[in-house]
Amino acid sequence: MSRKALIIGSLGQVGRELSSNLALKLGYENVLSTDVKSDPDYEGRFEILDCLDEPALRDLVQRESITEVYHLAALLSATAEQNIDFAWKLSVNGLFNVLNLAKDGLIEKIFWPSSIAVFGPNTPRHQTPQSTIIEPTTVYGIGKQAGEQWCNYYHKRFGVDVRSVRYPGLIGWKSLPGGGTTDYAVDIFYSALKGERFNCFLNEDTFLPMMHMEDAIRATLAIMEQDASNIKIRNSYNISAMSFSPKTLAEELRKHFPNFEIEYKPDFRQEIASSWPSSIDDAQARTDWGWKEQYGLSELVQNMIENLKLQVQA
């Protein structure tokens, strides 16, 4: 049977890039993007869908003969702190609705992203192991922790083929993130290109795990293409590419913009960032399904600058 993908939360930072990559792989007609709002400039097949509206979700999946769902809808860490009730409802009820589609035999496979936010201040900070203390202190992290446990439970109890990775901070040039604690690492490029001083909401030595968006999309496609027998972890896999602080990123940017200036004004997001790992051990993903990143810090910075310059010129 041919693959037919539904993406929930297509207008977010990951969704926009995933949908075009999936369309290249599966064919334009085999990818249906959805979100709660529409974007008149969106390229691709699109429908408005609220994943909390279970009958509408079920109806769409049946009408379109969907075989796999990429469930990306979530409020990111900083926004979730301002809207606790909705963040929890979206992260847990939305996931339940999708897991139940697979339990009832309507779809074959699910991708649901977790995050480094699942870890907390009691987790070992450096080279955080796959299996370790999970005591998140953010609303977003608590939602991801619950989601991971539900994925594992649905797999063990009902045989649901759900696959997941813990995304680090994601940096891409095609779309802007919104509401995350790692977003500074995208915003900083726009200031550097405009020749403006950058006000950073984290302090200079806050090391966090980060990844180029292209690598994140490759990981997502790769885990979904694996034979199910290779997916040994059904809560979520650690994946990693690099780790840097605002200061190391600014130093790398100065190789391209020698006059670039940065000022540090930590706000409430500092506490969130300080509760997360600084680097991640992803040996299990490398062993089980061959995960390997393509971008390190210097390649990421070079690639971001080249592409954002082209965008500005266009």
**224-to-73, 108, 271, 290 alpha-carbon distances in Å:** 18, 11, 34, 12
Total number of residues that touch ligand AKB (CB under 6 A):
11
Q: Copy the structure tokens of residue 186.
A: 């995208």
Q: Which residues fall within 8 angstroms of residue 54, CB to CB, at 6 or more apart? A: 97, 100
Shortest distance in whole angstroms from residue 273 CB to ligand AKB:
8
Is 77 a binding residue for ligand AKB by CB under 6 A? The answer is yes
Sheet of strand 237-238: strand arrangement? 114-115, 165-167, 237-238
**Closer residue to ligand AKB in complex, CB, 32/76:** 76
Q: Report the length, in residues, of the chain.
A: 314
- Point out the residues that are catalytic: 140
Task: In whole angstroms, give the CA distance from residue 260 to residue 193.
Answer: 9
Binding mask 149-178 for ligand AKB (x = CB under 6 A): ------------------x-x---------
Among 73, 116, 188, 301, binds ligand AKB (CB under 6 A): 116
Sheet of strand 68-71: strand arrangement? 46-48, 31-35, 5-8, 68-71, 109-111, 162-163
Q: Which residue minimizes CB distance to ligand AKB?
A: 180
Residue 201 identity: F
Shortest distance in whole angstroms from residue 218 CB to ligand AKB:
18
**Closer residue to ligand AKB in complex, CB, 150/167:** 167
Among 19, 33, 67, 181, binds ligand AKB (CB under 6 A): 181
Is 216 a binding residue for ligand AKB by CB under 6 A? The answer is no
**Closer residue to ligand AKB in complex, CB, 70/167:** 167
| Interface positions with ligand AKB (CB under 6 A) | 76-77, 115-117, 140, 167, 169, 180-182
